[in-house]
Chain A
Amino acid sequence: MAQSSSAARKSSDKRPNPAKVAVTLHVNGIQRKLAIAPWTTLLDALRLHLDLTGTKKGCDHGQCGACTVLVDGRRIYSCLTLAVMKDGAHVTTIEGLAQGGAMHPLQQAFIEHDALQCGYCTPGQICSAAGLIAEGKAGNADEIRELMSGNICRCGAYPNIVAAIEQVMFGKTLETTGEAKR
């Protein structure tokens, strides 16, 4: 992104090169102080500055959902979020979902339901599902599918992703989820 846009910039553009700005983020419960350029996205801050590479860069344009994280408890796309605008915010990434040695119920359910193939979209899917559960607006599989539509899975593991989320939300077992029967 940085290379292509600087190459495309007109040489006549006289642009300021502002000093780095101080940003404090509370990432997975730990306070992290950063000095970053204002155009640093939250995604790049997490991956490049904090070495939290669980959050993935897919399209980098808010079209795939691989970069989904929770900011102050709400799921958002970190690729379209400027880190400087989230100064002081609490960020939860895939690395922060496990409790001690125990996996988050969604992580466990994704394994049990084989809800992935290549796995690249999985951190975003799981963070998105955690946000979905916190919102409390999905009451059935149709609504889960609709409210998870911001996360693309190019391997097509959707039926098992929905089943894994149903298990966590409604306590459905592998045998009783509608998705598993299809």
Chain B
Amino acid sequence: MNSFEYTRAVDIVDAVRQVAADPAAKLIAGGTNLVDLMKENVARPSRLIDITRLPLDKVEETSDGGLRIGTLVANSDLAYDPRIEGRYPLLGSAILAGASQQLRNMASTGGNLLQRTRCLYFYDTSTPCNKREPGSGCSAIGGINRMHAILGTSEHCIATHPSDMCVALAALDARVLATGPAGQRSIAFDAFHRLPGDTPQIDTNLRADEIITAIELPPKGFAKNYTYLKIRDRLSYAFALVSVAVGLDIEGDKIKDARLALGGVAHKPWRDREAEAQLSGAPPTRERFVQAAETLLRGARGFGHNDFKIELTRRAILRALGQAARGTPQSQADKRIK
């Protein structure tokens, strides 16, 4: 690991001041991704600003009936919080589908959003990578790209976002609270992560001098009809080939409101409002599910090794919609897909 200076932030204002003063500094909380990237010589911060002693580790009710999750709440604590289990089981399920219990004990809520891609070329400093070294080229296009994106790619980058938690947060219409020198702002989850375009080195719209302080969940949690279905190369502790988060609001025999987000297939959790609109106002039938899947996957493109992901995603969407409509969410312990 490269040498760096280590400091502790005493409060949010101090954290913002320190990170704004040094463009090469990085905030650190769980460190599960950053420390690894530093060992790989991919991240070379001049200074680590430890924010783990700030009082940002609470889950609180909001005035509109939602929840505010402090940025330092550990992933495991969040998944097992009775309010998450009861009102937002889609979020809890997605968190428990990701990483291992050791990592969930370490990883923070805000840090989960700021994970960088696990594209092997991004990690391998001996290969070109536009995300790591802008302008050097993309080794995954024309390289080994079995894990890579099929939606929203660019000629510069086909990396995927690795988080499971973020896929559920996208489906739930969460908001990200960030504080910078100019004060606090709230960012819609969909506007937080970016597509690669011609600036794949920039993962999010969080500014370099901002700190995530909390995630806010709106009141609607889709606790009755939801599922998080994750397909991966081994049964646990592996990144998604494809994952599907579904939340359905079913009234009588009709879907009133539908949310669908995909993981493992794009540079950010993938949503398509048109597909969700196609599901709303109609009974949950296979014909509708097929139509929504087609809409979600329009424009999907494989790069050779990952061509299979297009059909795999289509089938996973159909399975997940069925699970959610029946009220039988995917178990994250018994891995049989029903």
On A, residues with C-beta under 8 Å from B are: 1-2, 4-6, 8-9, 13, 15-18, 21, 37-39, 41, 60-62, 65, 68, 74-77, 80-82, 84-85, 128, 131-132, 135, 137, 140, 142-143, 145-147, 149-151
Contact = CB atoms under 8 A, between A and B. Distances in A.
A150 B237 contact: yes
Interface in B286-336: 332-335
A61 B39 CA distance: 8
Task: Give the 4 A-B CB pairs with smallest separation, nearest first.
Answer: A150-B100, A149-B236, A38-B6, A149-B237
A50 to B, nearest CB: 19
A8 B41 contact: yes
16 contacts: A16-B5, A18-B6, A39-B3, A39-B4, A65-B100, A77-B102, A77-B106, A80-B35, A85-B52, A128-B102, A131-B102, A135-B101, A137-B80, A149-B236, A149-B237, A150-B100
Contacts of A8: 41, 125
Contact of A150 (B4, B101, B125, B332): B101
Given A5-B1, A38-B48, A147-B101, A82 B237 contact: no
B105 interface: yes
A76 B32 CA distance: 10
Nearest to B237: A149
Contacts, number: 114
B102 A16 contact: no
A85 B334 CA distance: 36
Contact of B32 (A2, A80, A132, A140): A80
B101 A131 contact: yes
A62 B334 CA distance: 24
B257 interface: no
Contacts of B333: 140, 142-143, 145-146
B190 interface: no
A38 B105 contact: no
A157 to B, nearest CB: 17
Given A37-B3, A38-B4, A85 B31 contact: yes
B105 A74 contact: yes
Contacts of A5: 1-2, 39, 41
Nearest to B236: A149
B36 interface: yes
B44 interface: yes
Nearest to B44: A13
Contacts of B41: 4-5, 8-9
B5 A60 contact: no
A171 B4 CA distance: 49
Nearest to A14: B46
Contacts of A6: 2
A1 B101 contact: no
Contacts of A4: 41
Contacts of A60: 39
Interface in B73-89: 76, 80
